[in-house]
Structure 1
């Protein structure tokens, strides 16, 4: 099997390694230049290609005629997309049968940032799905999928690690059937689940009037190394690094950050608390004493 692979991130690295181990001839890898504005906490597809001597390109646009010509010239039997960030246009998808690895149990959580959305919505499981690619995202027939649990205190970063392993397992299990043409296609019922868009740092702003479970799910969904759930006090911005659900707040405490018995907490709309063991201002951890000073200053100026 001769393949052109569109890949990025940890899933891209691990699935490329599966293809290499399975004897696939990788004619070309299409990946991304790292964004200097983004915290890069994941493995590098470029470094893997350099180590393995695989030809790669990093075009800014997947719709360019130059890229189409390069993919056609590679004469692939199959295209794979493993966490490549751009949609592949119809002319590219027409070169060869194409398969995408998606980080959810399709048809659930179609679209962008599926792991983050699953955690935000309190899902108890997710996984990885290999599916046939169509112009409509995450809509093609399902080839194989593997489920992983989302434990009550898992962050999206922890779940993404499980999904990466699930992607590797899914591809490893189905690759022989893809190579000999016996892989079965299962329906992807788009009446179930739904589409979700990309997330921006501003989406991490905390509404403390919400119930504690919803605030906690937001924290888990965007906890570092993602930008984090945040709240502003005056001109100061505080990001929750680590937190757990806790008990109930003393009466008459308003929603928001507070210090109780020398500990930082978040008071939520249902009266429950988040016990915050790491609160950050930029890259600096904030102590309970420092937060209390900020709260006192902010209160006195209002």
Structure 2
């Protein structure tokens, strides 16, 4: 089949590489310009460089809504469009242009975690599996019929970085197997159960600010979800920003006020956590490594030289 690819960052790069390695003919690539957004500078393999290195024409667009782009798409005569990590809405006159429509590849187990940053949100929420879904694009974002889906388990110590590496390796087989089904004439794909659908926004600075009223189990997953190279979860100590690099759920149960710097346990320093921490039924968050405002990273036991005081959400 003649394929036009819409994609960006490493997800789009892996998709394009899979298409170039396949029996299909990539006739045009559309990608976004480079961005300075904190999350878009991560996993930023260039789709444009890969396409140009393989002699494929490239168009750079923030949005696919101009007449020149539509004309180039029609001239390319694609049998299908394949999209992965395209960051803006693709209108119906574009996704419906090819005779087979548009196949979108998304890094979640749809219908859950449509939208943005699905791996991070899934880890924060304690999901046992994550994965990749190839589905036919329709008028609602990430809502079309599922062509192919594969899952991997979330390990008890996995970070968002670990899950990225697990799922990015699924892109090539999911994409090529889905295209194989479409090329064979299959059209009876699996409708999504919209009663199970969830839709998440992009991550921003406010989303990594630690709220000590969360249970320690949730905070421990937040810290793992904000693993390097993602920006670390942060709090404030004595008015200065303090990043929590690693942490575990405490062995003991600690009562008091959320955010209290309370007790040394193992290699960590326990911070009281949970909205009902006053009951004494909660685990705390045992912080093991921190990073100060000047970029110094050190064990929490060295940073917190004495117990007492509070970690807060604001300076």
TM-score (ref. length: structure 2): 0.85
Equivalent pairs counted in the alignment come to 299
Assess if the C-alpha contact under 8 Å between 2:256 and 2:272 holds in 1: no
Q: Which residue of structure 1 lines up, in the alignment, with residue 196 of structure 2?
A: 192
Q: Note the 1:82-121 alignment, pairs <5 A.
A: 82-96=84-98, 97-121=101-125
Deviations 1:258-284 (A, max 9, x none): 562774443322542333332112432
Query: Per the alignment, do residues 219 and 211 of structure 1 end up closer, same or farther by CA in structure 2, a change over 3 Å counting?
Result: same
SS of 2:194's equivalent?
coil
1:219 to 216, 220, 223: 223
2-structure distance, mates of 1:137, 1:35: 22
2-structure distance, mates of 1:216, 1:226: 15
2-structure distance, mates of 1:216, 1:122: 10
The alpha-carbon deviation at position 184 of structure 1 amounts to 4.0
Assess if the C-alpha contact under 8 Å between 1:31 and 1:57 holds in 2: yes
Q: Note the 1:203-242 alignment, pairs <5 A.
A: 203-242=207-246
Assess if the C-alpha contact under 8 Å between 1:243 and 1:275 holds in 2: yes
Assess if the C-alpha contact under 8 Å between 2:160 and 2:226 holds in 1: yes
Assess if the C-alpha contact under 8 Å between 1:258 and 1:292 holds in 2: no
2:288 to 268, 277, 280: 277
1:155 to 156, 159, 172: 159
Assess if the C-alpha contact under 8 Å between 1:124 and 1:152 holds in 2: no
1-structure distance, mates of 2:241, 2:308: 12
Assess if the C-alpha contact under 8 Å between 2:63 and 2:89 holds in 1: no
Gaps of 5+ in 1: none
1-structure distance, mates of 2:137, 2:7: 14
Assess if the C-alpha contact under 8 Å between 2:111 and 2:194 holds in 1: yes
Assess if the C-alpha contact under 8 Å between 1:174 and 1:183 holds in 2: no
Q: Note the 1:117-196 alignment, pairs <5 A.
A: 117-182=121-186, 184-196=188-200
SS of 1:176's equivalent?
helix
Deviations 1:113-138 (A, max 9, x none): 21111111111012111000012101
1-structure distance, mates of 2:180, 2:258: 59
1:55 to 48, 54, 57: 57
Q: Which residue of structure 2 lines up, in the alignment, with residue 292 of structure 1?
A: 305
Q: Which residue of structure 2 lines up, in the alignment, with residue 16 of structure 1?
A: 16
The alpha-carbon deviation at position 160 of structure 1 amounts to 1.8
Assess if the C-alpha contact under 8 Å between 1:259 and 1:291 holds in 2: no
The alpha-carbon deviation at position 249 of structure 1 amounts to 5.6
Query: Per the alignment, do residues 158 and 223 of structure 1 end up closer, same or farther by CA in structure 2, a change over 3 Å counting?
Result: same
Q: Which residue of structure 1 lines up, in the alignment, with residue 79 of structure 2?
A: 77
Query: Per the alignment, do residues 284 and 259 of structure 1 end up closer, same or farther by CA in structure 2, a change over 3 Å counting?
Result: farther
Query: Per the alignment, do residues 259 and 49 of structure 1 end up closer, same or farther by CA in structure 2, a change over 3 Å counting?
Result: farther
Deviations 1:93-129 (A, max 9, x none): 1311101011111111222221111111111012111
Gaps of 5+ in 2: none
Query: Per the alignment, do residues 195 and 36 of structure 1 end up closer, same or farther by CA in structure 2, a change over 3 Å counting?
Result: closer
SS of 2:72's equivalent?
helix
RMSD of aligned alpha carbons: 2.6
2-structure distance, mates of 1:78, 1:178: 9
1-structure distance, mates of 2:171, 2:214: 34
Query: Per the alignment, do residues 210 and 37 of structure 1 end up closer, same or farther by CA in structure 2, a change over 3 Å counting?
Result: closer
Assess if the C-alpha contact under 8 Å between 1:246 and 1:272 holds in 2: yes
2-structure distance, mates of 1:86, 1:132: 16
